[in-house]
């Protein structure tokens, strides 16, 4: 039916109801003459489409408020901001690159942006390089750093054969004591007490030590001889004996 055939009062009623439907979707209405009417209320935004210009909500980049206001959402440059009520502090909304992969981590760069650090390789350790996080397969401890590791959690492993391992056991140390072991300035094999008692090389070294000890005793008790007169040391014969 055309509006031309309806009384003007009917048109006003129909038009008013439609207008109220529109207004009530976004503005508060008490249903009576009230100063609260017209204020913005809960807003439901329709979903967008794939077509350009149909995003449900779109901000235009502008200038941030000189004084932050609680509840304000702003968009400046490439960043979104929300201002919290407590302390009225403006916070930057953190975003990240959606093209990352499982296991990647993100850190804050010098400009305040989230930057993606790709997942490292197996057994890599996260460290700091030039003030930024980085993965490394050869971690080191700086001169100003200390580290304490429980003996049960520390294992030495051969680089070629991972089944060859060694551990330290500290249960024999007296409580409250710290024992320091100083390595000699030479490259050699370390010998255990069992190896000293049973090892062939160690027994040979012990025999050599005893020979030299006997040589020293003979030289200490040798009589003083005139210049040019020498005597053969009995240890020369001892050196040929087997111990």
pLDDT tens, position by position, 74-92: 999 988 999 999 989 999 8
User: Per-domain residue ranges for the chain?
Assistant: 1-29, 91-173, 191-222+233-243
Report d(CA 209, CA 221) in Å as an integer: 19
By the 8 A CB rule, do 238 and 208 touch? no
Report d(CA 230, CA 224) in Å as an integer: 10
The confidence score (pLDDT) of residue 59 equals 92
Report d(CA 119, CA 79) in Å as an integer: 26
Mean per-residue pLDDT over the chain, rounded: 78
Instruction: Answer whether residue 4 shows pLDDT above 70.
Output: no
Q: What is the band of 224 on the pLDDT scale with cuts at 50, 70, 90?
A: low
> To the nearest 10°, the Cα dihedral for 96, 97, 103, 105?
-50
Report d(CA 145, CA 74) in Å as an integer: 43
Q: List the beta bridge partners of residue 76.
A: 79
Neighbouring residues of 213: CB distance < 8 A, sequence distance ≥ 6? none
The confidence score (pLDDT) of residue 124 equals 93
The confidence score (pLDDT) of residue 132 equals 93
Instruction: Answer whether residue 235 shows pLDDT above 50.
Output: no
Instruction: Answer whether residue 6 shows pLDDT above 70.
Output: no
The confidence score (pLDDT) of residue 141 equals 77
Task: Say how many Å lie between the first and final Cα of the chain, rounded.
Answer: 130
Q: What is the band of 143 on the pLDDT scale with cuts at 50, 70, 90?
A: confident
The confidence score (pLDDT) of residue 187 equals 85
By the 8 A CB rule, do 73 and 80 touch? yes
Phi, psi of 201 (to 5 degrees): -65, -35
Q: How many CB atoms lie within 10 A of CB 74?
A: 19
Q: What is the band of 42 on the pLDDT scale with cuts at 50, 70, 90?
A: confident
pLDDT digits (tens, 9 = 90+) for 22-38: 777 777 777 778 877 77
Q: Which tokens is 80 given?
A: 């979104």
């Amino acid at each position: 039916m055309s509006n031309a055939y309806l009384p003007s009062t009917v048109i006003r009623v129909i038009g008013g109801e439609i207008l109220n439907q529109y207004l009530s979707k976004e503005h508060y209405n008490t249903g009576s003459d009230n100063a609260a009417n017209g204020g913005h209320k809960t807003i439901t935004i329709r979903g967008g489409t794939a077509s350009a210009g149909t995003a449900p909500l779109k901000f235009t980049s502008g200038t941030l408020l000189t004084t932050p206001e609680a509840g304000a959402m702003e968009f400046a440059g490439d960043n979104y901001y929300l201002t919290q009520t407590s302390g009225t502090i403006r916070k930057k909304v953190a975003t990240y690159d959606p093209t990352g992969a499982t296991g990647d981590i993100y850190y804050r760069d010098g400009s305040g942006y989230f930057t993606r650090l790709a997942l490292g390789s197996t057994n890599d350790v996260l460290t700091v390089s030039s003030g930024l996080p980085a993965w490394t397969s050869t971690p080191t401890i700086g001169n100003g750093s200390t580290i304490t590791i429980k003996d049960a959690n520390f294992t030495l492993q051969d680089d070629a054969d991972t089944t060859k391992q060694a551990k330290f056991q500290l249960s024999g140390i007296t409580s409250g004591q710290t024992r320091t072991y100083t390595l000699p300035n030479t490259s050699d094999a370390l010998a255990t007490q069992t190896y000293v008692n049973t090892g062939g090389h160690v027994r040979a070294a012990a025999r050599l030590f005893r020979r030299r000890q006997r040589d020293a005793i003979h030289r200490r008790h040798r009589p003083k001889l005139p210049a040019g007169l020498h005597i053969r040391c009995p240890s020369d014969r001892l050196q040929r004996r087997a111990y």
